[in-house]
Amino acid sequence: MHDTLLLFGATGDLAQRYLFPSLLHLLRDRQLPEGFRVVAIGRSEHSDDGFRDWLRNRIQGEDRNAGALDDLLRRIRYHALDLQDIDGVAAALSQYADRPAVSYLSTPPNLFEPACRGLKAAGLLEAPSRLVLEKPIGHDLESARAIDATLKSALDESRIFRIDHYLGKAPVQNLLALRFGNALLEAVWQHRWIDSVDIVVAETGGVDGREGYYADYGALRDMVQNHMLQLLALIAMEPPAAMDADSIRDEKRKVLRALRPMTAEEAGNDSVRGRYTDGVVDGKAAKGFGREYDVETFVAVRAWIDNWRWAGVPFRLVTGKRMPARATEVIVRFKPVTHWVFDRPDKQHARPNRLRMRLQPEETIELTLMGSLAAPEWGATELEPMSLDLSMLPPKRRIAYERLMIDALKGDQTLFVRDDEVEAAWRWIDSINAAWRAAGTPVQDYPAGSWGPPEAADFLPTTLPVNGGRKP
């Protein structure tokens, strides 16, 4: 396992909220090597001690009191660097090239290229050193390719780790276990037995503080291009021959390549864009996302996978900010039984089976089947939906980044996104942006605290909490 981590963007929001807390948990659980050290790189001026104090004040909750925090802070050195200054970066960081390193770019994508050049000049991209990148990788297919060309001029694909933190979430790994560890599910995992798939990522938070980024990206590029398409790919992929990185990524890529490009004619039927206006979320007033930004904070898309397994099965992808409740879930709806033999003709009672995987706020997996709880009178069998709890998750909740950091330090690429997946995902996203432009698809307003514009009602699964998840 590599024991040197260079963290670019160390004073950024992601580093504060997730990356340093993940390292803290890994140290506490003795998962990191003896000589583990962190080189933190940011723009703000701090001495080593100044940065340590700054970080200590930002670590929240129980983590503040753990002995691991002192241990982590002791291992950190800080450098204030301007990444555009290649020579300056190389001069400051070459001292860390004495051991194989993992450089983690938690920076905007426009800094990937200069950072890469600085790291290369410092000798920090020589094999077996590795590079980790945060999404978004580019803004469209063309810019993603340009970034990739820069990366490839410094190191090869086997040492490039593109993070999608959704792949580090425990229920996502459980999905693979369920799909490929059970003949029962795999046998029905196709268009003959599956009616539709819903993938929902609803957040109560808004764009706050990231207006500039969001105005350029919007929810389609920020959420669908990566997190939601990764979930879709894992649900829809063929069984890999083995659980190694390339076998899995080969199959994911095939699914992404099979996504039917959207045309301008379909844009109106298969997608809805929304932008939140002033409203109330969690009982608090929330300000709208400025009307001057012609970009979506909510998107609903019906995706079609043109292959043998999924012909005719809609995958509804819905994501939005400032929704009434946090809900990240995948719902696989099976088709109803072909012939209803029970006494009650009432089709209400023939509720189709459903597999529901929740990632947030709770991590659960439940399979809903029909069963007979009681026969109220002789001769009549009443069926009721019954849910089996299939959650097999470890009791300790982990930050998704913990698993991904360990894998990057170890060199396991299974949960990282490969270059051709990123390209295939952009190709589809670009088709949607082009369809929206050609069709003039408007961004519809919705009040913060609602489930998006009314036009999106058909895209929403019935499992979403009513009344924003609060008691009436």
Q: Which residues are annotated as a binding site for substrate?
A: 165, 169, 203, 222, 321
Specify binding-site residues for NADP(+).
Answer: 43, 82-83, 135
Min dist. Cβ of residue 231 to ligand BG6 (A): 11
> Which candidate in 46, 79, 227, 349 is catalytic?
227
Min dist. Cβ of residue 225 to ligand BG6 (A): 10
Nearer of residues 143 and 360 to ligand BG6, judged by Cβ: 360
Beta bridge partners of 277: 447
Clarify whether 191 is annotated catalytic: no
Nearer of residues 203 and 423 to ligand BG6, judged by Cβ: 203
Fill in the per-residue mask, 358 to 377: x = in contact with ligand BG6 (CB under 6 A), - = not in contact. Answer: --x-----------------
Min dist. Cβ of residue 165 to ligand BG6 (A): 6
Question: DSSP of 357-399, one letter per residue?
Answer: EEEESS-EEEEEEEEE---SSTT---EEEEEEE-----SS---
The yes or no reply on residue 296 touching ligand BG6 (CB under 6 A) is no
Beta bridge partners of 370: 385
Nearest to 159 by CA among 416, 374, 400: 416
The yes or no reply on residue 129 touching ligand BG6 (CB under 6 A) is no
Nearer of residues 203 and 363 to ligand BG6, judged by Cβ: 203
Nearer of residues 225 and 271 to ligand BG6, judged by Cβ: 225
The yes or no reply on residue 204 touching ligand BG6 (CB under 6 A) is no
Fill in the per-residue mask, 218 to 257: x = in contact with ligand BG6 (CB under 6 A), - = not in contact. Answer: ----x-----------------------------------
Q: Which two tokens stand for residue 368?
A: 């809903």
Q: What residues have CB less than 8 Å from 372, skipping those under 6 apart?
A: 381, 382, 383, 384
Min dist. Cβ of residue 187 to ligand BG6 (A): 32
Beta bridge partners of 334: 194
Dist CA 378 CA 182 (whole Å): 37
Nearer of residues 36 and 446 to ligand BG6, judged by Cβ: 446
Fill in the per-residue mask, 139 to 178: x = in contact with ligand BG6 (CB under 6 A), - = not in contact. Answer: --------------------------x-------------
Q: Which amino acid is at 229?
A: L
Asked if residue 431 lies in contact with residue 142, where contact means CB atoms within 8 angstroms, the answer is: no
Asked if residue 200 lies in contact with residue 326, where contact means CB atoms within 8 angstroms, the answer is: no
Chain position carrying tokens 């701090």:
46
Q: Assign residue 306 a region: left if phi > 0, alpha if psi is -120 to 50, beta otherwise?
A: beta
Fill in the per-residue mask, 383 to 402: x = in contact with ligand BG6 (CB under 6 A), - = not in contact. Answer: --------------------
Provide the CB-side half-sphere exposure for 418 (13 A, CA): 20
Residue nearest to ligand BG6 (CB): 222
Nearer of residues 160 and 167 to ligand BG6, judged by Cβ: 167
Dist CA 116 CA 154 (whole Å): 7
Nearer of residues 103 and 328 to ligand BG6, judged by Cβ: 328
Nearest to 270 by CA among 80, 431, 379, 76: 431
Q: The sheet that has 327-334: what strands, in order across it?
A: 383-389, 364-372, 354-360, 327-334, 194-202, 314-320, 298-304, 271-277, 443-447
Min dist. Cβ of residue 296 to ligand BG6 (A): 12
Fill in the per-residue mask, 303 to 342: x = in contact with ligand BG6 (CB under 6 A), - = not in contact. Answer: -------------------------x--------------
Specify binding-site residues.
Answer: 43, 82-83, 135, 165, 169, 203, 222, 321
Asked if residue 444 lies in contact with residue 299, where contact means CB atoms within 8 angstroms, the answer is: no
Beta strands in 184-336 (DSSP E): 194-202, 271-277, 279-281, 284-286, 298-304, 314-320, 327-334
What single DSSP character describes residue 19?
A: I
Selected binder of ligand BG6 within 113, 148, 198, 203 (CB under 6 A): 203
How many amino acids of this chain bind ligand BG6 (CB under 6 A)? Answer: 5
Residues designated catalytic: 227
Applying CB under 6 A, the residues found at the interface with ligand BG6 are: 165, 203, 222, 328, 360
